[in-house]
Structure 1
Amino acid sequence: MTATVPIGEFSRLTYLTIKTLRYYHEIDLLEPVAIDPSSGYRFYSTEQVDQAHLIKRLRELNMPLPEIKAVMAAPDQATRDAAIRAHLERMEAELVRTRDVVASLRALLLPSTEISVEYRSVARYPVLAMRSEVAREECDAWCEHSYGTMHARLAATNLAPAGPDGATYAPEFFEYDRGEVVTFVPIDERHRGRFDAEAVLDLPARRFAIAVHAGPFTEFDRTYGALGSHVAEHDTALDEPVREIYLVGPGDAEPADYRTEVCWPIGRL
């Protein structure tokens, strides 16, 4: 059995203010079942209480009003539930990001420790490589796609990588949030001819100042800042891509256990 109640009573049933209920009516989000033609007073059905509660909770989760309208207008329960689940997944991802930023801020409050820098001359070596101009926000997806493609090529020829995966990042990637990223997987020189020529790249010989970044990629800026400052104060940096070598990375361990060599190119071999 249902009943019709005036807007004030509906406000008490739903914990939504009269002002809010009037606004939801104006934007066609939650319409009253009847309006008194002489007074303009709004009336709601008790069947609408659950709808109002759902809207209230979605707003508490910061779902934009257009998305809430789409949820409320969903043609069936499955469509509505899918839209709600998608928003919850975005909220959970944002919660993880917020937690990471909070942990990073706490770490910034601690006394800084000296970075350990190693100098190494690296000879030229061949790699399977894929390159693209990549926006920073698209970088994770690009890397996942490119490494998957290159490892599939190796598997198709029954070969194993000759070393850990890596990537180079052009200066523009940092300066403009978009630039060339080259992902690579080392191969044995003897196997070069088993791949198309355009798939193989020779990484040039370089001398690097190297620091190992331990932990998730969200903290990379601190390692870059410490290593780059060390190079600026003690060496001559080359205006060319930084090289990263993923000693332990996605697929091998949890983010807290990642280990990445950040290789800063410097002036002499």
Structure 2
Amino acid sequence: PESITLIFERFISKERGEPPDIDVDFEHERREEVIQWIYRRYGRERAGLTATVIHFRSRAAIREVGKVMGLSQDVIARLSGQIWGWSSTAPGEDRMREAGLDPADGRVQLAIRLIGEIIGFPRHLSQHVGGFVITQGRLDELCPIENAAMEDRTIIEWDKDDIDALGLLKVDILALGMLTAIRKAFGLLAEHRGARLTLANVPAEDEPVYDMLCRADAIGVFQVESRAQLNFLPRMRPRKFYDLVCEVAIVRPGPIQGGMVHPFLNRRMGREPIEDLGPALMEVL
């Protein structure tokens, strides 16, 4: 943030009208350590994982209604097997016939109507992937807290929308496998090469690494291994870390759909002039 004069008010500002979205990535093999540390640091009466509401989708609705309506297990399996992906619609007549059901049968018609009605209804509470609520006062006096299915975890019975409505602080404790891979790589370097590296002292601008990236030799390299990134790397030709920042930021739906990619490349390569937008904006840009 200091090297590029990042505006901190972008994240915490009274003009935003909403609390900041705080996401922190940890090694995926050590995330449980962090979660338990939060419980110890703030206490289970002041910290808890957020819940998430699981809603009925087509397959779950078919299974539940099918059992209630007395449909056989093989019919339920055939009918739910007709649903692809995350469908949220009741099966049509063609699907029913393929499952061996008669669309004119009264019981089948009632089952299909009920399936359509409960799709989208809440089914059960589950645990949010990593959203932690931390309060100044006692959380257990504000909302219900229950034990999670996982050992040594407690969750509140409110989801992220409830938290946003009440303005409570939520911190997402997320897991990132690449951080684990980096830590293990540092360990291997220390063991076999005697090099003691950390994220703080790893060489920032290593020329052979950028040569590799310019050749799109980036399979397995976090953030730049997608097909779109591999296609963009030889055109971008990054030579420093901030080039990679721009690379990751511009290969996204917004800049691509907004027609920003080619003007950016042309101006970077000197094929188009850079428009002077005035000292106030140019200093930021």
One fold, TM greater than 0.5?
no
For normalisation by structure 1, the TM-score amounts to: 0.21
Q: Higher relative contact order at CA 8 Å, sep ≥6: structure 1 or structure 2?
A: 2
User: Which structure: larger Rg?
Assistant: 1
- Structure number with higher strand proportion: 1
